[in-house]
Structure 1
Amino acid sequence: MKFSQWLGFIVLVISLYILWQIRQLLLLLFTAVIIANSLNHAVQRFQKWGISRSYAVLLAMSLLIATLTAFIWIIIPPFAEQLPELLKLVPQGIDQLIITLKEFISRLDPELIQSLPTTDQFLQQLQPLVQQIAGQGLNVFYMTLGIPLTILLLLALSLMLLANPQAYRQGFMRLFPSFYRNKIDLVLTECDEALQGWLLGILFNMTIIAILSFIGLSIFGIRLSLAQAMLAGLLTFIPNIGPALSVIPPMAIALLEAPWKSLAVLILYIGIQQIEGNILTPLVMAHRVSLLPAMTLLSQVFFATIFGFLGLFLALPLAVVSQVWLKEVLIKDILDQWETEPKILNNETEYLPLNSIEDETETKELE
């Protein structure tokens, strides 16, 4: 390699190391981009109505703050009122669930019950993993800024990006060679559309699941229906893992009342997930970005390992953006252009790159 190539390689390695060290701040910036992207569509709609950009930004931010204030004012008080009792009843229900499972297993195979870990052993094995994920994701918040200042920084970044998004977009595009900037512009447009589709889809999912959960739990007479329904809606933001966690509290509380109610709650939540995923969401979001279930789960594990809890929380939008970049850059511009042609050598077919065949043809012509 030439000196310039070695220098470029060293600069690339140093840049990757710096990006790795500030990955939590980059994740914070990505969150601000998501917020600014969602608000920018509202701003553009206001501009179509003849409102100037500055007033449209102010109106969009005001609507966001008003929505959050109404949510906190109307929904949070009853949820906060039921939450302490929920935290008290759920451990009791989980203990009862463990006792029921042990009794069932002992009837099948008495020796199998001895090999199962106890609750304390299971929590001891799970604690290091939880601490690692939570510590990686929350370190930048607790050690440097704290939650209030982090939220303030997030809102400030979102407002700055929203005020003049084209300037930041052009600055990002200039990081790439001039011949490739049109392609990057196309990729960014697709990411914008993908994030918009994801955001509309996830908000719809959270609302529908919260409403259906509240109706179903109220019909079965499960205590603390509102708090558990809101918890189910919020955990929908984390696919796969969130819905699995949301069914534990109502099942545990239902088990304290009657065993059949616990089974009914499980069937209810499975039915809600099937209705939401297979009927309602495709009707509302026919053109949303779709990810394979296995890829969604792997992305959660991958981003949680790198970014911690925040990576798990933002795994789906990160996966959506990563899918667009991989499809447009890696697959279309590299792998799809990597063509080969067969060449017969010694009665055997061998596949050689096109440029190798063209070089051999030019050599023969020169001879």
Structure 2
Amino acid sequence: MKLADWIGFFCLILALLILWQFRQIVLLIFTAVILAIALNSLVRGLQRFRLNRSLAVIIALSLVVLFGTLFFSLVMPPFLTQFQQLIELAPRGFNQFIRWVDNLLENPPLWFPQQLEFRVPTIPEIAQQVGPLAQNVLGNFFAFFSNSLTTLLQLLLVIVLTLMFLSNPVAYRTVFVRLFPSFYRRRADEILSGCETVLLQWMAGIVINSIFIASLSAIGLLILGIPFVFAHALLAGVFNFIPNLGPAASVVFPVSVALLDTPWKALTVIILYIFIQNLESYWFSPMIMQKQVSLLPAATLTAQIFFARFFGFLGLVLALPLAVVSKVWIEEAIMKDILDQWQSQRTTATSFIDTSPEPVTDFEPDPQLFPHDSLSPLENESDFSQ
């Protein structure tokens, strides 16, 4: 390697180290990008009705505000009421389970093993054992939410960045693409288009999955006669945004309430949730979302552990979109553009290198990738000044 190559390599390492120090801010920026992509999809849908972009953005934001107002005024009050009652009943359900097990050990049936030394731990004992582990796993979670003012400022930052990205996404995209070497800018722009596509597919898929799981949970719990059906169903839908760990967490509250009745009803609730998750995984998702980006279960779980370990609770929530974007960049930039092009001798041209004698200094998005009704072209900047 030449001296210039070594200098460039060390500058890259230094930039990555600096970026790592600001990883929480980078994660907030990524959150704003996801929200901007979702809103931009709605804006492009409105632009099909021959609306200019500024008016389409205003209408899209108005629809979001209207939906949020209806949600918080109609859905949240009954949910908060039922959820508060759930918090009070959950320990009672666990204590009921402990008493049932103690009674079973004192008066065992004929088929139960005799002389079995077994004692169910109490809630304080469980808390003492689980406390250090929970503190280690969720330490970043409490650090992230401990300061209400910091949380409010972070939320405000995400909202402001989302509006900025939504107002003129091509300008910010162009700045990001120009961070790449001149010969790779057009290829990087194509990869970004692929990332946008898979993120939209992920968002559509997770919303449809959550509605499906919430609906089936409500129907099943209503048939079983479990109280607070609305709160349980809404929690099941929300927790579905966190794969693997979310469904397991959503079953805790209905099982705790069912334990107040009989342990066998709690068992039926567990069976119901297992049935719903398998139905969603092996039938609903493959049938409805055939184009949704797929990740191996082990890769999904590994991504959750990795991002939760280094980025905290927000990293756990965004583990799947981060994994999806990483998958696209690994497949396109590393697999196709480097490993698949690997040869013993240097070739004169490749499919992704611009071999023109002059470097590309002024990048403009490909019009075939960004038609006039897509992603806010630079020609529409005048709409915001009117």
For Structure 1 versus Structure 2, the TM-score category normalised by the shorter chain is 0.7 to 0.9
- Aligned partner of 2:156 in structure 1 is 152
Query: How do 1:142-291 and structure 2 match up within 5 A?
Result: 142-143=146-147, 145-291=149-295
Query: How do 1:32-47 and structure 2 match up within 5 A?
Result: 32-47=32-47
Distance 1:2 1:40, change over 3 A: same
* Superposition deviation, residue 16 in structure 1: 1.5
Query: How do 1:103-118 and structure 2 match up within 5 A?
Result: 108=113, 113=118
Cα pair 2:209 2:285 within 8 Å, conserved: yes
For residues 130 and 307 of structure 2, what CA distance do their matches in structure 1 show?
A: 19
For residues 57 and 138 of structure 1, what CA distance do their matches in structure 2 show?
A: 35
Distance 1:188 1:281, change over 3 A: same
* Superposition deviation, residue 156 in structure 1: 1.0
Distance 1:305 1:87, change over 3 A: same
- Aligned partner of 1:7 in structure 2 is 7
Distance 1:264 1:137, change over 3 A: closer
Could you list the per-position Cα deviations for residues 230-268 of structure 1 after superposition, in whole angstroms to 9, with x for gaps in the alignment? Answer: 111110010110001111111121121012211111111
Cα pair 1:132 1:308 within 8 Å, conserved: no
- Aligned partner of 1:56 in structure 2 is 56
Cα pair 2:308 2:314 within 8 Å, conserved: yes
For residues 147 and 298 of structure 2, what CA distance do their matches in structure 1 show?
A: 34
Distance 1:8 1:142, change over 3 A: farther
* Superposition deviation, residue 312 in structure 1: 0.6
Q: SS in structure 2 opposite 1:290?
A: coil
Match 1:355 to one of 318, 329, 345? 345
Query: How do 1:95-106 and structure 2 match up within 5 A?
Result: 95-97=95-97
For residues 110 and 61 of structure 1, what CA distance do their matches in structure 2 show?
A: 67
For residues 2 and 342 of structure 2, what CA distance do their matches in structure 1 show?
A: 26
Paired letter, 2:91:
P
Distance 1:257 1:37, change over 3 A: same
Distance 1:125 1:8, change over 3 A: farther
- Aligned partner of 1:85 in structure 2 is 85
* Superposition deviation, residue 91 in structure 1: 1.7
For residues 222 and 202 of structure 1, what CA distance do their matches in structure 2 show?
A: 26
Root-mean-square deviation (Å): 2.4
Paired letter, 2:134:
V
* Superposition deviation, residue 190 in structure 1: 0.8
* Superposition deviation, residue 192 in structure 1: 0.6
Cα pair 1:33 1:161 within 8 Å, conserved: yes
Q: SS in structure 1 opposite 2:273?
A: helix
Cα pair 1:216 1:268 within 8 Å, conserved: yes
Q: Mark the runs of 5 or more structure 2 residues left unpaired by the alignment.
A: 347-386
For residues 5 and 269 of structure 2, what CA distance do their matches in structure 1 show?
A: 62
Cα pair 1:24 1:137 within 8 Å, conserved: no
Q: SS in structure 1 opposite 2:345?
A: helix
- Aligned partner of 2:370 in structure 1 is none
Paired letter, 1:164:
N
- Aligned partner of 1:20 in structure 2 is 20
- Aligned partner of 1:319 in structure 2 is 323
* Superposition deviation, residue 112 in structure 1: 6.7
Query: Which has the bigger relative contact order, CA under 8 A and spacing at least 6?
Result: 2
For residues 148 and 37 of structure 2, what CA distance do their matches in structure 1 show?
A: 27
- Aligned partner of 2:131 in structure 1 is 127
Distance 1:101 1:301, change over 3 A: farther
Could you tell me the percent identity over the aligned residues?
A: 48
Cα pair 1:214 1:225 within 8 Å, conserved: yes
Cα pair 2:144 2:151 within 8 Å, conserved: no
* Superposition deviation, residue 17 in structure 1: 1.6
Distance 1:13 1:226, change over 3 A: same
Paired letter, 2:336:
K
- Aligned partner of 2:361 in structure 1 is none
Q: SS in structure 2 opposite 1:257?
A: coil
Normalised by the length of structure 2, the TM-score is 0.81
Paired letter, 1:334:
I
Are positions 1:74 and 2:74 aligned together? yes
Distance 1:145 1:9, change over 3 A: farther
Could you list the per-position Cα deviations for residues 115-144 of structure 1 after superposition, in whole angstroms to 9, with x for gaps in the alignment? Answer: x97654543343344334444256456559
Normalised by the length of structure 1, the TM-score is 0.85
Distance 1:100 1:244, change over 3 A: farther
Paired letter, 1:11:
C
